[in-house]
Structure 1
Amino acid sequence: MTRFQDKVVAITGGGSGIGKEAAARFVAEGAKVVLNGRDLAKLESAAQQIDPSGQNVAVSAGDIADPATGATLVDLAVSRYGALNILVNNAGVFNPKPFLELNEADYDWYLDTILKGKFFTAQAAAKAMKDKGGAIVQTGSMWAIQAIGATPSAAYSAANAGVHAMVRNLAIELAPYRIRINAVAPAVVETPVYNTFMSDAQVKEVLPTFNAFHPLGRNGQPRDIAEAILFLASEQASWITGAVLPVDGGVTAGRH
Structure 2
Amino acid sequence: MRFKGKVAVLTGAGSGIGKETAKRLVSEGARVVINGRDKAKLEAAANEIDSTGKNVAISAGDIALPATGQAAVDLAVERFGRLDVLVNNAGVFNPKPFLELTEGDYDWYLDTILKGKFFTAQAAAKAMKEHGGAIVQTGSMWAIQAIGATPSAAYSAANAGVHAMVRNLAIELAPHKIRVNAVAPAVVETPVYNTFMSDDQVAKTLPTFNAFHPLGRNGQPKDVAEAILFLASDEASWITGAVLPVDGGVTAGRS
Question: TM-score scaled by structure 1?
Answer: 0.99
Structure 1 residue runs without a partner (length 5+):
none
Structure 2 match to 1:51: 50
Structure 1 match to 2:22: 23
| 1:190 counterpart letter in structure 2 | E
| 2:230 counterpart letter in structure 1 | F
Provide the C-alpha distance between the structure 2 equivalents of 1:11 and 1:61, rounded to a whole number of angstroms. Answer: 11
| 1:61 counterpart letter in structure 2 | A
Structure 1 match to 2:104: 105
The structural deviation recorded for 1:197 is 0.2
Structure 1 residue ranges (4+ consecutive) displaced by more than 2 angstroms after TM superposition: none
The structural deviation recorded for 1:41 is 0.2
The alignment status of 1:193 with 2:192, answered yes or no, reads yes
Counting only pairs closer than 5 Å after superposition, residues 193-232 of structure 1 correspond to structure 2 as 193-232=192-231
The alignment status of 1:135 with 2:134, answered yes or no, reads yes
Counting only pairs closer than 5 Å after superposition, residues 57-96 of structure 1 correspond to structure 2 as 57-96=56-95
The structural deviation recorded for 1:182 is 0.1
RMSD: 0.2
Structure 2 match to 1:148: 147
> Per the alignment, in what secondary structure is the counterpart of residue 53 of structure 1?
coil
Structure 1 match to 2:239: 240
- Aligned identity (percent) is 82
Provide the C-alpha distance between the structure 1 equivalents of 2:128 and 2:10, rounded to a whole number of angstroms. Answer: 15
Provide the C-alpha distance between the structure 2 equivalents of 1:70 and 1:90, rounded to a whole number of angstroms. Answer: 12
The structural deviation recorded for 1:140 is 0.1
Provide the C-alpha distance between the structure 2 equivalents of 1:127 and 1:49, rounded to a whole number of angstroms. Answer: 30
Provide the C-alpha distance between the structure 1 equivalents of 2:53 and 2:138, rounded to a whole number of angstroms. Answer: 26
User: What are the superposed Cα offsets for residues 37-73 of structure 1, whole Å, 9 maximum, x if unpaired?
Assistant: 0000000000001101010000000000000000000
Provide the C-alpha distance between the structure 1 equivalents of 2:88 and 2:159, rounded to a whole number of angstroms. Answer: 12
Structure 2 residue runs without a partner (length 5+):
none
Provide the C-alpha distance between the structure 2 equivalents of 1:64 and 1:50, rounded to a whole number of angstroms. Answer: 21
User: What are the superposed Cα offsets for residues 134-177 of structure 1, whole Å, 9 maximum, x if unpaired?
Assistant: 00000000000000000000000000000000000000000000
The structural deviation recorded for 1:202 is 0.2
> Per the alignment, in what secondary structure is the counterpart of residue 36 of structure 1?
strand
The structural deviation recorded for 1:4 is 0.1
The structural deviation recorded for 1:36 is 0.3
Structure 2 match to 1:171: 170
Q: How many residues align?
A: 255
| 2:126 counterpart letter in structure 1 | K
Provide the C-alpha distance between the structure 1 equivalents of 2:13 and 2:122, rounded to a whole number of angstroms. Answer: 19
Provide the C-alpha distance between the structure 2 equivalents of 1:49 and 1:245, rounded to a whole number of angstroms. Answer: 28
Question: TM-score scaled by structure 2?
Answer: 1.00
The structural deviation recorded for 1:18 is 0.1
> Per the alignment, in what secondary structure is the counterpart of residue 86 of structure 2?
strand
